[in-house]
Structure 1
């Protein structure tokens, strides 16, 4: 049944302006407080934000840092990653995940993902370990990426990982949960991002490391401050980085954190409307029992041979779309020489040609969403 969408509208893919309008007075006041006290680096808002994030997630220790990539990097430095080590990671994700592994001289081993939830497939972990050993590498850990806001299956991952450490790449999933807990408590260590477009985003770059391990937390705190001692700032105990979160960003994040849980609920309503209206014309996202996604992206699967035409038709109606990710990592120039399991990663390769993300944010009005849905239905039926 065609939807007969007539007059085109302009829709925002992610509407940060609506959120800012809601809390602009609080944001302005928070920035003013930082300007007044002048502690732009490691000011009081840093510890306040870290405590608030620990309370939200249930993690015992939170270490804020300069970006999500720094969170990955600092976390793996604290875990002792070094040349000769191998770390398993999904082939269907953003470059920051394997980039941090390679920057430390270790080797990423790409393994395939689950075709339904897009996350690392625990059934492929054994093959990844075998590839690492065949290459003469020491498989020490794996990074599970919670893609598009849904936590990976950490129970199954933990069972398959043996004695390897597990890093949760929660750049897209902060605030999500499963029956066994909240994001921030699943792995040996968790890395997240506050890039502006994330469900909890600042007005620049920012990130955080979460762990229940007090020793790891102390090492991460040292590394983010150039590896300095907690006793004497001129005693450098280890190689570190300049990885601090700016006080201004922490002040902004505190205001956003105050409405974050409500925004997660609003995202659920948006996702439900999409699922209910589109399940008969496209493959809608899978959310397994007792899991809560924060819907960093709302991603459909459409036939590969029709995706470009559908996206073009939607663009003509003012509905933006995006493809996360158009090429699996093992096909990209920087990573082509790194090992992967099997004869390619068929699920990752297939998803790259099928996925299509729609506008998603907490302030997507119901009438605007109905317009998007009508345009998507029309495009899928006619393009």
Structure 2
């Protein structure tokens, strides 16, 4: 048994060195993004949203479609935007000609005036309830990338965001591994990312872990409060004082175990709900403000994860607005930093934002994160 433990320890230390030795070559990321969801019937017009983002000094956003009104309104601005291919379209993009037609009709008309920097092909496809979607993912990703290259826009990155549920194990971080049933397609996808130098995007929510086990998991740890005892990975001896970083490093280890070490991990969604049902433990304006405020503080400090401390973790907050038409539990409709009338849900200190003329800033102003996808989030 002692020999086995010793061998495992050496293996994990090797993986840690394997990961960190090459990741350092990835350029520093120096901005924060926010998800701009539209599953609501009361949101401000895109030109007003653009003004809001400019006031907040945010220069990166992500939408869950290719809304023409948004793409047109964001033209000639300094906002970089990531767009999304809806899941129901993936099967059509198996055909290279269909993919070329999709790019020609949904992307090219807005370039270069609108700064489209990325295309997310589907949303959480690896864990979608429709298993047939997965077989279309890698061909669709490759075909869209090839179409962009053919049209002279190979600088637009093509990837897909995954739920943390793609991991079979995530604790401790060094035990991170992908679910065996998706390993074949995941290898193909990672090979594409490695070849094109494109990041792996993960939707990571410490809130879900705390909600499922609030009596065991310390709230300070999931919120990222300092100081807190946190946890030490028994194999790498790395100390984690917040769960989000542990989740990200678990993905790094899972990628390394597939044989890749030059793929950067970025967070496409993370946040905390300001309201929830009675069984959604921890959903409150106070916790949401604390989680997001701590995350912003770490971003301003250029923090990386314990495994890759030199690489600032790029994060997209979830999300800009509360979305009243989202299905699922109450929390799904209450991740937004702002209410639809542009008043803050709660204050996280991004900037002093003037609210609508009929509202006044208060201590209840809130910074929440919400998804723009119509489906509910997938718990790990």
TM-score normalised over the length of structure 2: 0.31
TM-score normalised over the length of structure 1: 0.31
More relative contact order, 1 or 2 (CA 8 Å, 6+ apart) = 1
Which is higher, the Rg of structure 1 or of structure 2? 1
